[in-house]
């Protein structure tokens, strides 16, 4: 995670491990959760060890994709959607993954079973994804541009309101962004790498936060 801007006017860019773990779980169990937006498959595929990351652990095998049959897939998908939404909203209970019992998921029994089955492999793979030098480079390369965008705002808007715009980055197979709230955007790593287009798209949102939050475009 990093923050661009000033103490009052900030753009925070984050790529939480828990979200990648959740995407891994969705893929390997072939879950079809209902969300307000279409979330593409994770990239790279869970059957591939990231080529530029640390060497795969001894004994690592690509997961077999498809329902394990341990739980009702519809119930698991519904619980996954609740978990995903909670993660994006920053709910502490959703981000706490405490193996091997995962007591925090007692209210989501199907998801709890799947975490008990896949957690170790999911974390290893997700850490490798986030450790990929190419992903790190694409994530950090956007920082100077974000800083310039805030400086432009401060030079053009007199007395801007304080704000913190959150960009939550996910490694999915798309070049897209999904506005979740006036001050929160879910964005693919592919799109973040296209920094000029990202800055153009973010500008009206940033200006809206500084002037009139209710006027921010969707």
Residue 157: its pLDDT value, please? Answer: 87
pLDDT tens, residue by residue, 89-116: 988 777 888 898 999 999 999 999 999 9
**Main-chain dihedrals φ then ψ at residue 170, nearest 5 degrees:** -130, 140
Q: Provide long-range contacts, Cβ within 8 A and 24+ apart, for 191-195.
A: 192/13, 192/138, 192/139, 192/142, 192/167, 193/138, 193/141, 193/142, 195/141, 195/142, 195/145
Cis peptide before 44 (omega within 30 of 0): yes
Strands ordered across the beta sheet of 163-170: 2-5, 9-14, 163-170, 184-188, 177-181
Number of residues that this document lists for the chain: 218
- For residue 169, list its beta bridge partners: 187
**Main-chain dihedrals φ then ψ at residue 27, nearest 5 degrees:** -70, -50
Among residues 12, 11, 9, which one has the least CA distance to residue 1? 12
Q: How far apart are CA 62 and CA 44, in angstroms?
A: 12
Q: How far apart are CA 4 and CA 144, in angstroms?
A: 8
- On whether the CB atoms of residues 128 and 50 are closer than 8 A, the answer is yes
- What is residue 174's three-state secondary structure? coil
**What angle is formed at CA 200 by the lines to CA 195 and CA 206, rounded to 5 degrees?**
105
pTM: 0.92
> What is the token pair recorded at 48?
């591939």
Q: Per-residue pLDDT for the chain (218 aa), expressed as one digit of tens each? A: 889 988 889 999 999 999 999 999 999 999 999 999 999 999 999 999 887 777 788 878 889 899 889 999 999 999 999 999 999 998 877 788 889 899 999 999 999 999 999 999 999 999 999 988 888 898 899 999 999 999 999 999 888 888 999 999 999 999 999 999 999 999 999 999 999 999 999 999 999 998 865 444 44
Q: Which domains does the chain have, with CATH numbers?
A: 2-14+135-215 (3.30.2010), 18-50+72-132 (no CATH)
């Amino acid at each position: 995670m990093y923050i661009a801007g000033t103490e009052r006017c900030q753009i925070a860019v984050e790529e939480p491990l828990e979200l990648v773990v959740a995407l891994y779980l969705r893929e390997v169990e072939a879950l079809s959760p209902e969300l307000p937006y279409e979330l593409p498959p994770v990239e790279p595929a869970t059957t591939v060890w990231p080529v530029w990351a640390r060497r795969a652990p001894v004994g690592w095998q690509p997961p077999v994709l498809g329902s394990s049959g341990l739980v009702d897939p519809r119930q698991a998908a519904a619980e996954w959607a609740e978990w995903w939404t909670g993660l994006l909203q920053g709910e502490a209970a959703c981000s706490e993954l405490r193996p091997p019992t995962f007591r925090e998921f007692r209210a989501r029994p199907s998801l709890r079973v799947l975490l008990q089955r896949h957690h170790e492999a999911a974390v290893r793979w997700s850490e490798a994804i986030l450790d990929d030098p190419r992903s790190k480079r694409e994530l950090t390369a956007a920082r100077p541009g974000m800083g310039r965008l805030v400086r432009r705002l401060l030079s053009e808007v007199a007395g801007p309101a304080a704000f913190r715009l959150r960009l939550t980055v996910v490694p999915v197979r798309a070049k897209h962004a999904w506005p979740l709230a006036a001050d929160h955007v879910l964005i693919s790593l592919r799109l973040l790498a296209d920094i000029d287009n990202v800055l153009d798209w973010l500008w009206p949102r940033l200006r809206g936060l500084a002037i009139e939050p209710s006027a921010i475009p969707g």
